A and B are shown apart, each in its own frame.
Chain A
């Protein structure tokens, strides 16, 4: 029977056909199967016939279990972090009562939400109303499947990893529209449509700036993208060409819009449309939206870190400083912190200004980046020290020029009016 299973498994199509040094297979062969020999209840001789592929599957399931258990903890931490960061910015202390330094506050909130009344609008579309949070929740967590936390630490090393993430994160908008429509509330619908327009629009500059990276790496697989940045700080894609440097900011701005955070938080602008598409949700269903929002925030930051900031590769080639899983998480959390920082500092854009920013500024810039990277690839077919030095020089000059130009517009800031009577 095992043989049959093994046959089925070996014949079944895999997305990543020949993963270099499949860690799960190695783990099964070297660790799991030898253990079987020493177990008292396993009859002698079974262990040596135990198929490696089945072992691999078991290891994979175990790994998935660990991920499924750990990944939902990320929002738990981030919610507390958000509250603490905002508290620091606003001269407060944030939650302090539950647990030491308020660390268990999110758990307490979760328990409260579970015990709340599960309200479904009687005039609404019940089926869609129930399904919407699950779609959003599932999609935002599915993106974690392709995020490489470290060398070999990822659930699935697709050869289309980044494409998969783009695809799965676009499905979120369906859940948002479902939630807005099924609530049978005009404000929810308004929020949902704002969200749909926003996410669909910002997907384009987002995708185009990912394309810039893909053009340089010539692979969609996340591990390849990280692997191409293995030679220290200046081999990170953000510094590789001046165009990826711009692309990083286009990507980051678009991803802030993708996850509906200030200054692009129109879909849930509490001072305009109450809470947007999830106004009518309560209890655990609301908690799912909330968790998904923070999971999304972490996911887009992780993707930005992977694509542009070297992923789990360190600053220096050959050293693990700021590398590995801790380094990756640090980079990601830094980007998350920037998002929180922006949220508690900036006001919100209006819906037409939001669209202007996307279609009139980010989109042309993203196209310009693609053109630029194409030409760059013609001039420097292979990365060399020379190309990186030139790139850094252009970036530094560009920053200085931008500062000079922006400094001029900054000086146009309204001074406190000399209110002479």
Chain B
């Protein structure tokens, strides 16, 4: 039987046509890394857009087959480098669940470590969404929100630097716990930051979300409705922006998320300003609202009556040598559902590791979303689905 003919993925250049084929990227200011888009333009109108990936491919999955489980954690940092804590955690959760399959090897993650993980990852989520907000403003043409966002993100990065010594690739969450305990006065610092940051969210909403030019640019543009979002596997803020209340922290609570009280922001129709479910504005706005929810969670940790429980920060176990078997575990990273599929043959190294990247799925919708829109809209879409190429290419 002949192999099915693969459809040509490249746009063929047609001479003497009114259409123009241009390359957007891989070196382009607003493709958020090294995304390359092949655009077929009719004037300013985009007839076809094909994303080409792989410029940042670093063989993460193949590498992992030759590394022991703890050694893989630094590699996960390099996936979504904007939200590295969450990537660490996602991987560790998967390995922990795999370990738990064998009773002799299973262990409980200490209570203190769970709290630290939630605290750090929610701060990381704030940092990640701040970057998304800032760069989205820049994509739309407003330069100032970018610097405001970076000013606040810097404060979080400084805290992370104190806690694990790194600003971008943390390698902080370890299998069975976290690598270090909190430095003294860290919680006071977090409280100071949260108190400072919470009013700023409203300021940012006034500055950008409510700006009429911004609404004009993003409202009703590139609508990804619920069905389409599910079909493409878009998750996280992209799915919630389409109006679906789906958040793994709430719907399949892992770790200790069931102890916290927070809401799931989701996209809404707002006909008075032309906003519909699943458009760029809603996808963006869900992130802005999630900032508040993350602040809420962090505040609940800080205001615990008994404080963060004392105790060890890492579980006691012999070695990371999971039993034979396979696992898929997903967690809610800032950009969507991050899944790790691990096949173990009982050795300290995984037989196969596959990461399910939320950005990759979201990016696959770009081609359909951008049809018939303008060049400027492409930028608005890329910003609103908030991709990080390190995670797309891995």
Instruction: Please determine whether B140 and A348 come into contact, CB atoms closer than 8 angstroms.
Output: yes
Complex CA distance for A346 and B213, rounded to whole angstroms: 7
User: Quick one: which of A256-311 are within 8 Å of B by CB?
Assistant: 262-263, 265-266, 269-274
Known contacts A272-B30, A274-B29, A421-B263; decide if A346 and B376 are in contact (CB<8 Å).
Answer: no
Instruction: Please determine whether B379 and A272 come into contact, CB atoms closer than 8 angstroms.
Output: yes
Measured CB to CB, the closest approach of chain B to A69, in angstroms, equals 34
- Chain B 348-391 against A: per-residue CB contact (8 Å), 1 yes, 0 no? 00000000000000000000000000111101000000000000
Instruction: Please determine whether B270 and A263 come into contact, CB atoms closer than 8 angstroms.
Output: no
Instruction: Please determine whether B379 and A349 come into contact, CB atoms closer than 8 angstroms.
Output: no
Measured CB to CB, the closest approach of chain A to B366, in angstroms, equals 16
Complex CA distance for A351 and B143, rounded to whole angstroms: 19
Across-interface contacts of B205 in A (CB, < 8 A): 416
Instruction: Please determine whether B20 and A350 come into contact, CB atoms closer than 8 angstroms.
Output: no
Instruction: Please determine whether B141 and A269 come into contact, CB atoms closer than 8 angstroms.
Output: yes
> Which of A72-80, A86-94, A367-375 interfaces with chain B?
A86-94
Known contacts A272-B376, A416-B202, A420-B263; decide if A347 and B210 are in contact (CB<8 Å).
Answer: no
Complex CA distance for A421 and B265, rounded to whole angstroms: 8
* Chief secondary structure at chain A's binding surface: loop
> Which of B79-87, B144-152, B229-237 interfaces with chain A?
B144-152
Complex CA distance for A140 and B289, rounded to whole angstroms: 46
Measured CB to CB, the closest approach of chain A to B391, in angstroms, equals 21
Complex CA distance for A353 and B376, rounded to whole angstroms: 11
Instruction: Please determine whether A350 and B377 come into contact, CB atoms closer than 8 angstroms.
Output: yes
Instruction: Please determine whether B272 and A412 come into contact, CB atoms closer than 8 angstroms.
Output: yes
Is there a chain B Cβ closer than 8 Å to A417's Cβ? yes
Residue of B nearest to A413 (CB): B210
Across-interface contacts of A266 in B (CB, < 8 A): 376
Is there a chain B Cβ closer than 8 Å to A352's Cβ? yes
Say which residue of B147, B217, B264, B293 sits within 8 Å of A350 (CB atoms). Answer: B217
Measured CB to CB, the closest approach of chain B to A202, in angstroms, equals 17
Measured CB to CB, the closest approach of chain A to B375, in angstroms, equals 6
Is there a chain B Cβ closer than 8 Å to A414's Cβ? yes
Is there a chain B Cβ closer than 8 Å to A208's Cβ? no
Across-interface contacts of A272 in B (CB, < 8 A): 30, 375-376, 379
Is there a chain A Cβ closer than 8 Å to B347's Cβ? no
Measured CB to CB, the closest approach of chain A to B222, in angstroms, equals 12
Complex CA distance for A262 and B142, rounded to whole angstroms: 8
Is there a chain A Cβ closer than 8 Å to B273's Cβ? yes
Measured CB to CB, the closest approach of chain B to A371, in angstroms, equals 28
Say which residue of B142, B148, B377 sits within 8 Å of A347 (CB atoms). Answer: B142
Instruction: Please determine whether A419 and B22 come into contact, CB atoms closer than 8 angstroms.
Output: no
Residue of A nearest to B202 (CB): A416
User: Quick one: which of B259-296 are within 8 Å of A by CB?
Assistant: 263-266, 268, 270, 272-273, 275, 285, 289, 292-293
User: Quick one: which of A167-193 are within 8 Å of B by CB?
Assistant: 186-187, 190
Across-interface contacts of A187 in B (CB, < 8 A): 22
Is there a chain A Cβ closer than 8 Å to B208's Cβ? yes
Is there a chain B Cβ closer than 8 Å to A30's Cβ? no
Instruction: Please determine whether A90 and B144 come into contact, CB atoms closer than 8 angstroms.
Output: yes
Say which residue of B250, B292, B375 sits within 8 Å of A421 (CB atoms). Answer: B250
Complex CA distance for A421 and B246, rounded to whole angstroms: 10
User: Quick one: which of B19-71 are within 8 Å of A by CB?
Assistant: 20, 22, 28-30, 41, 44
Instruction: Please determine whether A271 and B138 come into contact, CB atoms closer than 8 angstroms.
Output: yes
Residue of A nearest to B285 (CB): A417
Complex CA distance for A348 and B375, rounded to whole angstroms: 13
Across-interface contacts of A413 in B (CB, < 8 A): 210, 273
Is there a chain B Cβ closer than 8 Å to A249's Cβ? no
Known contacts A271-B29, A271-B141, A419-B265; decide if A347 and B275 are in contact (CB<8 Å).
Answer: no
Instruction: Please determine whether B211 and A347 come into contact, CB atoms closer than 8 angstroms.
Output: yes
Across-interface contacts of A352 in B (CB, < 8 A): 44, 374
Across-interface contacts of A347 in B (CB, < 8 A): 137, 140-142, 208, 211, 213-214, 217
Instruction: Please determine whether B289 and A417 come into contact, CB atoms closer than 8 angstroms.
Output: yes
Is there a chain A Cβ closer than 8 Å to B255's Cβ? no
Across-interface contacts of A421 in B (CB, < 8 A): 245, 250, 263-264
* Chief secondary structure at chain B's binding surface: helix
Report how many residues on chain A are interfacial, defined by Cβ distance under 8 Å. 37
Is there a chain A Cβ closer than 8 Å to B77's Cβ? no
Across-interface contacts of B20 in A (CB, < 8 A): 186
Across-interface contacts of A344 in B (CB, < 8 A): 143-144
Across-interface contacts of A90 in B (CB, < 8 A): 143-144, 147-148
Known contacts A271-B29, A271-B379, A274-B28; decide if A414 and B217 are in contact (CB<8 Å).
Answer: no
Say which residue of B147, B202, B209, B265 sits within 8 Å of A414 (CB atoms). Answer: B209
Is there a chain A Cβ closer than 8 Å to B181's Cβ? no
Known contacts A269-B141, A271-B379, A351-B374; decide if A419 and B293 are in contact (CB<8 Å).
Answer: yes
Is there a chain A Cβ closer than 8 Å to B139's Cβ? yes
- Chain A 340-360 against B: per-residue CB contact (8 Å), 1 yes, 0 no? 000011111111110000000
* Most chain A CB neighbours (cut-off 10 Å) among B137, B213, B273: B213
Residue of B nearest to A193 (CB): B43
Instruction: Please determine whether B273 and A346 come into contact, CB atoms closer than 8 angstroms.
Output: no
Measured CB to CB, the closest approach of chain B to A193, in angstroms, equals 8
Complex CA distance for A350 and B272, rounded to whole angstroms: 20
Measured CB to CB, the closest approach of chain B to A346, in angstroms, equals 6
Instruction: Please determine whether B147 and A91 come into contact, CB atoms closer than 8 angstroms.
Output: yes
Across-interface contacts of B272 in A (CB, < 8 A): 412
Instruction: Please determine whether A271 and B139 come into contact, CB atoms closer than 8 angstroms.
Output: yes
Across-interface contacts of B379 in A (CB, < 8 A): 271-272
Residue of A nearest to B247 (CB): A421
Say which residue of A262, A351, A419 sits within 8 Å of B141 (CB atoms). Answer: A262
Instruction: Please determine whether B265 and A353 come into contact, CB atoms closer than 8 angstroms.
Output: no
Across-interface contacts of A190 in B (CB, < 8 A): 22, 41, 44, 375
Measured CB to CB, the closest approach of chain B to A123, in angstroms, equals 16
Across-interface contacts of A269 in B (CB, < 8 A): 141, 376
Across-interface contacts of A345 in B (CB, < 8 A): 142, 144
Instruction: Please determine whether B263 and A412 come into contact, CB atoms closer than 8 angstroms.
Output: no
Is there a chain A Cβ closer than 8 Å to B216's Cβ? yes
Across-interface contacts of A349 in B (CB, < 8 A): 213, 216-217
Complex CA distance for A352 and B263, rounded to whole angstroms: 38
Across-interface contacts of A420 in B (CB, < 8 A): 263
Measured CB to CB, the closest approach of chain A to B64, in angstroms, equals 35
Say which residue of A186, A270, A274, A414 sits within 8 Å of B270 (CB atoms). Answer: A414
Seed contacts A90-B148, A272-B376, A416-B202; 6 additional CB < 8 Å A-B pairs = A92-B147, A263-B213, A271-B379, A272-B375, A351-B376, A414-B273
Could you give 19 example pairs across A and B, Cβ below 8 Å? A89-B144, A90-B143, A186-B20, A194-B44, A265-B141, A271-B29, A271-B379, A345-B144, A346-B213, A347-B217, A348-B140, A348-B376, A351-B44, A351-B376, A352-B374, A414-B273, A414-B275, A416-B205, A419-B264
- Report B's interface with A, CB cutoff 8 A: 20, 22, 28-30, 41, 44, 137-144, 147-148, 151, 201-202, 205, 208-211, 213-217, 245, 250, 263-266, 268, 270, 272-273, 275, 285, 289, 292-293, 374-377, 379
